[in-house]
């Protein structure tokens, strides 16, 4: 049965990931007079595929927010190197990395706990948005029931498959299907953290990461035949490593964006705004988007606090994300190099910036 909420919100935020929660947290503190609704469609059973690694840029941003990460968010083990594997070219190299291994859902819930109590939080998924004069009407699915709410402005922070972007703007031109499976850690000899390339099954990258009592394997694949490509790559990787993952405990999937040109970045228009991956703020080379998501949330909150009208807010937001736009554009250039098998092979064979773990021989050395 549909329920009508007669309240009219100043801002309805679709998506309670890092982009949406940081935006709401910062704006609610700066403008407690605004009536804000945060729509949270997340649950432990519907978590998006994510390696759950907190990159240095994201760590630096948390430091600038003067936030400390609770121990409950972290996962074992903490990892200091990435094992880069090219399955087709039979190459392996190790590179030092400074990520924090964490539970992504727990991280999102921690950020959500920082949202001031006067903000309205609605559990449910936004199934549709319609323009009604100067207002927006949002249809929210909550279990077996539906509710409608109205808002003066919309902020889309709902990821690569953004309903907000799909409704009002052109979708991202290049998107993949990210598929990730969890396996019981039975002592299999699998990389603690690896970045996998296999030109036979994907034009992008994949990953393995240990998470407590589990090992995850995931990757980004072209939409057509994505599941078949995922299974083929998993089989090829098992043969390459000489060890099997076992039977999956669960499988997750979602759309993931890969911005390739400046036109892929969309901040919004009028009283509709986009944040995080919905705006294109994600690395095309590594799919790291936490740092850009949180940063964009802060920048848009500052724009709302400073601007006196929607056009002015849009102008401030676009201007203050210009550096981010160029930074991520260069990530697409980096991707074009790393995902080119010939160039990648030359880089890995050269050994530049790689490390050699004691007692391990790299296939690039053995074969070379």
pLDDT along the chain (368 residues), means of 10: 71 97 98 97 79 95 96 95 97 96 95 97 93 95 89 97 96 95 92 96 97 96 97 98 96 95 96 98 96 98 98 98 97 96 97 89 54
**Pairwise CA distance, residues 108 & 116, whole Å:** 15
Go through 317-344 and write b for each residue having 16 or more CB atoms within 10 A of its CB, e for each that does not.
bbebbeebbeebbebbeebeebbebeeb
Go through 197-210 and write b for each residue having 16 or more CB atoms within 10 A of its CB, e for each that does not.
bbbebbbbbbbbbb
Q: Give φ, ψ of 292 to 5 degrees.
A: -65, -35
pLDDT of residue 188: 87
- Domain boundaries of the chain, sorted by first residue: 2-43+104-172+261-334, 72-102+174-258+335-367
15 alpha carbon, distance to own chain's centre? 12
Where do the H-state alpha helices sit in the chain?
Answer: 18-30, 56-64, 104-113, 163-168, 226-241, 290-306, 310-320, 322-338, 341-350, 363-367
CB 314 within 8 A of CB 153: no
Q: Give φ, ψ of 194 to 5 degrees.
A: -135, 150
Where do the H-state alpha helices sit in 119-224?
Answer: 163-168
Q: Are strands 145-156 and 2-14 parallel, antiparallel or unpaired?
A: parallel
**Pairwise CA distance, residues 130 & 137, whole Å:** 5
Q: Dihedral, CA atoms, 41, 256, 69, 300, nearest 10 degrees?
A: -80
Contacts of 240 (CB under 8 A, 6+ apart): 85, 87, 90
pLDDT of residue 44: 75
Say which CATH class 2-43+104-172+261-334 falls into.
alpha beta
Strand partners of residue 82: 95
pLDDT of residue 136: 97
Q: Are strands 81-86 and 193-197 parallel, antiparallel or unpaired?
A: parallel
Q: For the domain covering 72-102+174-258+335-367, report its CATH number.
A: 3.30.9.10
pLDDT of residue 367: 47
């Amino acid at each position: 049965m549909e329920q009508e909420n007669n309240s009219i919100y100043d801002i309805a935020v679709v998506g309670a990931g890092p982009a949406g929660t940081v935006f709401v947290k910062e704006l609610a503190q700066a403008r407690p007079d605004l009536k804000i609704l945060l729509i949270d469609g997340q649950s432990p059973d519907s978590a998006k595929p994510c390696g759950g690694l907190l990159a240095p840029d994201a760590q630096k941003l948390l430091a600038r927010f003067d936030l400390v990460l609770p121990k409950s968010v972290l996962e074992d083990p903490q990892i200091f190197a990435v094992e880069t594997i090219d399955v087709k070219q039979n190459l392996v190299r190790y590179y030092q990395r400074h990520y924090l291994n964490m539970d992504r859902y727990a991280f999102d819930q921690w950020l959500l706990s920082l949202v001031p109590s006067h903000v309205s939080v609605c559990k449910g998924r936004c199934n549709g948005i319609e323009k009604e004069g100067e207002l927006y009407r949002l249809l929210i699915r909550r279990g077996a029931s539906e509710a409608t709410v109205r808002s003066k402005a919309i902020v889309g922070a709902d990821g690569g498959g953004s309903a907000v972007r799909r409704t009002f703007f052109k979708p991202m031109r290049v998107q993949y299907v990210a598929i990730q499976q969890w396996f019981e850690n039975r002592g299999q000899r699998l990389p603690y953290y690896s970045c996998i390339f296999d030109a036979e099954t994907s034009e992008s990258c994949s990953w393995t990461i240990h998470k407590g009592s589990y090992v995850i394997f995931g990757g980004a694949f072209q939409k057509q035949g994505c599941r078949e490509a995922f299974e083929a790559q998993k089989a090829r990787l098992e043969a390459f490593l000489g060890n099997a993952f076992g039977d999956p405990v669960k499988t997750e999937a979602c759309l993931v964006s890969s911005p390739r040109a400046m036109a892929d970045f969309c901040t919004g228009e009028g009283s509709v705004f986009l944040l995080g991956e919905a705006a294109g703020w994600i690395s095309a080379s590594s799919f790291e988007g936490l740092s850009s998501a949180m940063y964009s949330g802060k920048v848009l909150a500052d724009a709302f606090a400073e601007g006196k009208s929607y056009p002015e807010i849009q102008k401030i937001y676009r201007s203050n994300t210009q550096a981010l736009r160029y930074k991520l554009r260069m990530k697409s250039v980096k991707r074009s190099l790393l995902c080119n098998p010939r160039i990648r092979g030359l880089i890995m064979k050269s050994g530049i910036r790689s490390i050699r773990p004691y007692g391990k021989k790299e296939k690039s050395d053995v074969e070379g």
